[in-house]
Amino acid sequence: MNQSDNITAFASAIGGAVTVIRLSGPQVLEIANQVWHGRKSLSAADVRKMLLGTAAGDQVLAVYMKAPHSYTGDDVVELQCHGGAATANAVMKELLAAGCRLAEPGEFTCRAFLNGKLDLLQAEAVADIISSSGTAALHLAQKQLAGSLSSKIDELYDLIITLRSECESRLDFPDEELDFDESVPEQLDTVGKSIEKLLASASAGAIIRDGVPVVLAGRPNAGKSSLLNAIVGFDRAIVSAIAGTTRDTVESEAVIRGIGVKLTDTAGLRDSDDPVEKMGIERSLNTIRAGAVTFWLLDASAEDPEAEAAAIDRNAPGLIAVWNKYDLAGSRQLPETGVPTVKISALTGENLSALFDAFEKEVFGSQLPAMPELAINARSADLLAKSAEHLAHAAGFFAGGDYELAAAELAEASVKIGEITGRSVAPDILDKIFHKFCIGK
């Protein structure tokens, strides 16, 4: 990624009411002025002012943001055209002819990183904001973009550097009566514990960022499709009193307690001679195996509730038994299931909150609070784990009086921590991170 290039891309999806074209680079003002024409040309006097003009024969608004006070830290111009592919493409064609090149995915944010506007954790937070499926993911990403995780990592980095210089001072003045800090082992231990704490947030981070696949399973007519509809809030799946209504799997995205979920409604499980229903049931079984959480629906109004409970597949992942149609069950005694169990009515929506409580418990386990303020991603977890190893070695060497090796291990540990925020990072790692972004960001 060459930083002296002038880059451009559509920053909004084509087909909306307005299309935003973003330009970033040292000569974007000159380039924009070849394509966009207002009452006068765009200049430094117009910084952050929205000006109306024309480009490629259409009305276009233009705004100029002067380096370093822009998203990328370069000179930036943004053009707003009427929506629709024809207008936007015509303007883009002229911009390319005037000297811009098309930006690669994430190249604007990469420039922001290279220009010191964001660190790597903050850049990753930008991508997370765009892909957030639930409010929890958004909240986490906003905190990360604000720098809360970066400052934690920076604190660790600074501490490791200080500890390293403590080791080195023992090497430089071994025989002198210097005032050495006696608390080095204790501090090494504290850094190790902080890293452990951050590592423990990785699984919650993955759940919140990636969402959770949830499968609705059970016998025919238990109310699986009714529950899907109740959770998503509209009639996504067909519901009927005929057993065997759902044949194919039905998928829908939803948010439960701020967490994005991919819900899959399945064909009711029973012995069937119908070849199509059999195919549906085979699909159900495969879907259950691929899920992370299973809501196993049981009919609380069934003639034989014992048989309902006995039908539960104990191997289903993240199993929660859901007695449905509880509105019809009266004061009826229901059998124990031996797994976390809730009683609901998909029809009336009664007690869905108990199901959501059980869901939260299932995905976060004993991790409290369930909604962390900070949660690391897989890349950071990997680097933190490597750093923790070097710290453990450093502690061993320090205890044995081998300060040289302890210092070397601490140097390695700081490099790994530094990669998290991007203090030290190889270009191929940057490519890997930013290519996951969309074009125009």
Ligand X SMILES: Nc1nc2c(ncn2[C@@H]2O[C@H](COP(=O)(O)OP(=O)(O)OP(=O)(O)O)[C@@H](O)[C@H]2O)c(=O)[nH]1
- Residue 287 interacts with ligand X (CB under 6 A)? no
Q: Is the dihedral of CA 399, 403, 408, 413 positive or negative?
A: positive
Q: Pairing state of beta strands 7-10 and 101-102? A: parallel
Structure tokens at 376: 């690391």
The contact pattern for ligand X, residues 31-70, with x = CB under 6 A and - = no contact, is ----------------------------------------
294 binds ligand X (CB under 6 A): no
Strand 250-256 and strand 58-65: pairing? unpaired
- Cis, peptide link before residue 105, omega less than 30° from 0: no
Residue 257 beta carbon to ligand X: minimum distance, rounded to whole angstroms = 21
Biggest CA–CA distance in the chain, Å, is 89
Give the contacts of 96 (CB within 8 A, at least 6 positions apart): 8, 102
If one asks whether residue 324 binds Mg ion (CB under 5 A), the answer comes out as: no
Q: Please, what is the end-to-end C-alpha distance for the chain in angstroms? A: 14
Quick one: which of 104, 210, 327, 402 contacts ligand X (CB under 6 A)? 327
Q: Which of 6, 229, 246, 377 binds Mg ion (CB under 5 A)?
A: 246
Minimum Å distance from CB 248 to ligand X? 10
Alpha-carbon distance of 72 to 123, in angstroms, equals 11
314 vs 308: CA distance, rounded Å: 13
- Residue 240 in contact with ligand X, rule: CB under 6 A: yes
Which one, 244 or 340, has the nearer CB to ligand X?
244
Binding footprint of ligand X, residue count (CB under 6 A): 23
Smallest gap, in angstroms, from Cβ of residue 254 to ligand X?
A: 16
Among 24, 70, 144, 246, interactor with ligand X by CB under 6 A: 246
Choices 29-37, 239-247, 317-325, 341-349 (CB under 5 A): range interacting with Mg ion: 239-247
The single-letter code of the amino acid at 327 is D
- What DSSP state is assigned to residue 100? -
- Whole-angstrom Cα distance, residue 161 to residue 411? 7
Nearer to ligand X, 280 or 372 (CB): 280
Task: Name which of 195, 162, 208 is nearest 383 in CA terms.
Answer: 195
Among 100, 222, 316, 319, binds ligand X (CB under 6 A): 222
Window contacting ligand X (CB under 6 A); options: 82-90, 119-127, 319-327, 392-400: 319-327
What radius of gyration do the chain's Cα atoms show? 29
Q: Which of residues 197-236 bind Mg ion (CB under 5 A)?
A: 224-225
Query: Is 245 an interacting residue with respect to Mg ion (CB under 5 A)?
Result: yes
Q: Residues interacting with ligand X, by CB under 6 A?
A: 220-226, 239-241, 243-246, 267-268, 324-325, 327-328, 345-347
Q: Residues interacting with Mg ion, by CB under 5 A?
A: 224-225, 245-246
